[in-house]
């Protein structure tokens, strides 16, 4: 049976360090590659044009809205959403080809993500399986300030063997800067939706995040890398709720 067509969509800004490897991993495999750039000052656009003619430069409306913009430009039957710092492995491509070669009863698939962290891939992060492969017309992205997700109409399943390789952080300062930005965006989004918190709640959420990562997702088995990653995630969780608490006080003062 002929394989259904596949569009890969990527949003980016200043990703010249990683985007070539990402695009190379889907080049001559995907039927269509859509790249939406939001004002890169480096060679991101130039590099992207070597792999696809569908490169668009636009403003920045937020993660979910930008991905929905990319989705609107896609024309194939299936969509695979890939971040600019992610690589599609050969094993995953084989598995996706198998899915697209049959009349699947599912409209979306979750795919494991394997994080490259301080020179080694972290096994425990394979517990994270975002839904990023879906039929066009049956799914779209939520539009919070950060941590967008795909929502699909109908049944979903998961990829069992292949995975995405994620090269997110070039250094520890880069990781801390990135997560601090996400914490502020998340807190601002919650504040706009009239969600409030307490300092004790911030502590509880961060402790739970640490416990879950170490002992439920088994980050502790990844040695010092897993412990460091879990501790930083717990700190991010605390900061997110602490920022939310501070916004509540700021709004009272301004009122």
SS (H, E, C) the chain: CCCCCEEEEEEECCCCCCHHHHHHHHCCCCCEEEEEECCCCCCHHHHHCCCCCCEEECCCCCHHHHHHHHHHHCCCCEEEECCCCEEECHHHHHHHHHHHCCCCCCCEEECCEEEEECCEEECHHHHCCCEEEEECCCEEECCCCCCCCEEECCCEEECCCCCEEECCCCCHHHHHHHHHHHHHHHHHHHHHCCCCCCHHHHHHHHHHHHHHHHHHCCHHHHHHHHHHHHHHHHHHHHHHHHHHHHHHHHHHHHC
Tell whether 154 and 197 lie within a shared domain: no
pTM score, two decimals?
A: 0.90
Question: Are the C-beta atoms of 7 and 79 separated by less than 8 Å?
Answer: yes
> Is position 43 within any domain?
yes
Tell whether 158 and 176 lie within a shared domain: no
Tell whether 59 and 153 lie within a shared domain: yes
What is the rounded CA–CA span in Å between residue 38 and residue 227? 34
- Write down the pLDDT at residue 21: 97
> Is position 108 within any domain?
yes
Q: Which of 166, 189, 215 lies at the terminal end of a domain, its last residue?
A: 166
Measured N-to-C along each axis, helices 199-211 and 223-254 cross at an angle, to the nearest 10 degrees, of 160
Could you list the pLDDT tens digit for every one of the 255 residues in the chain?
689 999 999 999 999 999 999 999 999 999 999 999 999 999 999 999 999 999 999 999 999 999 999 999 999 999 999 999 999 999 999 999 999 999 899 999 999 999 999 999 887 654 678 999 999 999 999 998 888 999 999 999 999 889 999 998 889 999 999 999 999 999 998 998 888 899 899 999 999 999 999 998 889 999 999 999 999 999 999 999 999 999 877 766 555
Domain that holds residue 210: 172-254
Instruction: Enumerate residues 6+ apart whose C-beta is below 8 A from 226.
Output: 122, 124, 213, 214, 218, 219, 220
Tell whether 71 and 189 lie within a shared domain: no
Tell whether 193 and 138 lie within a shared domain: no
> Is position 59 within any domain?
yes
What total of structural domains would you count in the chain? 2
CATH code (residue 27): 3.90.550.10
Tell whether 250 and 236 lie within a shared domain: yes
| Vertex 230 angle, CA 114 and 195, to 5° | 105
Q: Which of 149, 166, 183 lies at the terminal end of a domain, its last residue?
A: 166
- Write down the pLDDT at residue 125: 59
> Is position 1 within any domain?
no
Tell whether 91 and 149 lie within a shared domain: yes
């Amino acid at each position: 049976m002929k394989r259904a067509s596949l569009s890969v969509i990527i949003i980016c800004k200043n990703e010249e360090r990683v985007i070539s490897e990402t695009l190379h991993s889907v080049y001559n495999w995907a039927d269509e590659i859509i790249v939406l750039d939001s004002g890169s000052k480096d060679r991101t656009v130039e590099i992207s044009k070597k792999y696809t003619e569908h490169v668009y430069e636009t403003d920045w409306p937020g993660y979910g809205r930008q991905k929905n913009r990319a989705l609107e430009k896609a024309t194939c039957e299936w969509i695979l959403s890939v971040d600019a710092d992610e690589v599609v492995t050969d094993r995953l491509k084989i598995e996706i080809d198998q899915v697209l070669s049959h009349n699947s009863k599912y409209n979306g698939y979750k795919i494991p993500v394997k994080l490259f962290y301080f020179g080694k891939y972290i096994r425990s992060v394979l517990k994270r399986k975002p839904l990023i492969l879906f039929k066009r017309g049956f799914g779209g992205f939520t539009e919070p300030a950060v941590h967008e997700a795909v929502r699909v109409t109908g049944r979903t399943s998961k990829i069992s063997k292949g995975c995405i390789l994620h090269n997110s952080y070039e250094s520890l300062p880069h990781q801390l800067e990135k997560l601090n930005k996400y914490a502020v965006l998340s807190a601002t989004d919650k504040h706009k939706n009239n969600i409030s918190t307490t300092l004790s709640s911030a502590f509880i959420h961060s402790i739970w995040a640490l416990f879950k990562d170490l002992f439920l997702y088994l980050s502790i088995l990844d040695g010092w890398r897993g412990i460091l990653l879990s501790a930083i995630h717990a700190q991010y969780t605390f900061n997110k709720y602490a920022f939310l608490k501070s916004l509540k006080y700021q709004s009272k003062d301004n009122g």
